[in-house]
């Protein structure tokens, strides 16, 4: 879809933790991108280095928009069961937060109708939870002005999910 809408754009598929960032006016990372642990290069140090590279790539006044999962992402006991369904699909998710190690594991099972039958798929998502205070310290130290977001317009963030709108000073 992106290639159709922006045919002259350059697209790359690579690790955000190792990619070179070209000069730009904005960077977005929507959907807890900085938390996911599927990439072996995702470490606390790598997040700081990525924020540094983004700062270098942004024009003065440039914007960084992102959101993260924080400790407390799973309210209460640290175990959550959620399901949602439509006419020909269903999603069941169990989220478990390891508060000691600041890790979140989501186990997701989906069912979708394919012809007369239903297809079942399973995924496991592992995330490192990042504290707001750590990010504020890192971003401020790099020379960003930070605004905390509790929503993207009408999409209100749940507990433990925070957005950041960051300006390069």
For the chain, residues classed under CATH 2.20.25.110 are 79-127
Beta strand 24-29 with 58-69 is parallel
Mean pLDDT of the chain: 95
pLDDT surpassing 90 at residue 157: yes
pLDDT band at 10 (very low <50, low <70, confident <90, very high): confident
- What CA–CA distance (Å, rounded) separates 82 from 35? 20
15-48 pLDDT, tens digit per residue, is 999 999 999 999 999 999 999 999 889 999 999 9
Which option is the CATH number for 79-127: 2.20.25.110, 2.20.28.270, 2.60.40.10, 3.40.710.10?
2.20.25.110
| The two structure tokens encoding residue 60 | 């003065």
- What CA–CA distance (Å, rounded) separates 70 from 146? 17
pLDDT of 45 = 94
pLDDT of 25 = 96
What are the helix (H) ranges across the chain? 2-5, 44-57, 132-142
Encode burial over 80-104: b for 16+ CB neighbours within 10 A, e otherwise: beeeeeeeeeeeebebebeeeebbb
pTM for the model:
0.89
By percentage, how much of the chain surpasses pLDDT 70?
Answer: 100
pLDDT band at 76 (very low <50, low <70, confident <90, very high): confident
Nearest of 4, 1, 33 to residue 19 by alpha carbon: 33
pLDDT of 97 = 97
By percentage, how much of the chain surpasses pLDDT 90?
Answer: 87
For the chain, residues classed under CATH 3.40.50.150 are 2-70+130-168
2-70+130-168 classified as CATH 3.80.10.10: no
| The two structure tokens encoding residue 155 | 């999409």
């Amino acid at each position: 879809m992106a290639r159709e809408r922006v045919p002259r754009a350059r697209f790359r598929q690579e690790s955000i933790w190792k990619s070179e960032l070209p000069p730009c006016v904005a960077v977005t990372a929507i959907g807890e991108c900085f938390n996911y642990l599927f990439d072996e290069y995702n470490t606390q140090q790598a997040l700081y280095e990525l924020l540094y590279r983004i700062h270098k790539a942004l024009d003065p006044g440039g914007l960084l928009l992102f959101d993260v999962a924080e400790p407390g992402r799973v309210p209460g006991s640290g175990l959550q069961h959620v399901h949602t369904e439509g006419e020909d699909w269903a999603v069941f998710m169990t989220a478990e937060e390891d508060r000691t190690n600041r890790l979140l594991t989501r186990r997701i099972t989906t069912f979708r109708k394919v012809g007369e039958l239903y297809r079942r798929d399973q995924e496991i998502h592992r995330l490192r939870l990042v504290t707001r205070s750590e990010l504020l310290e890192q971003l401020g130290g790099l020379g960003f002005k930070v605004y905390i977001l509790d929503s993207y317009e009408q999409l209100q963030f749940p507990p433990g999910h925070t957005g950041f709108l960051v300006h390069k000073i």
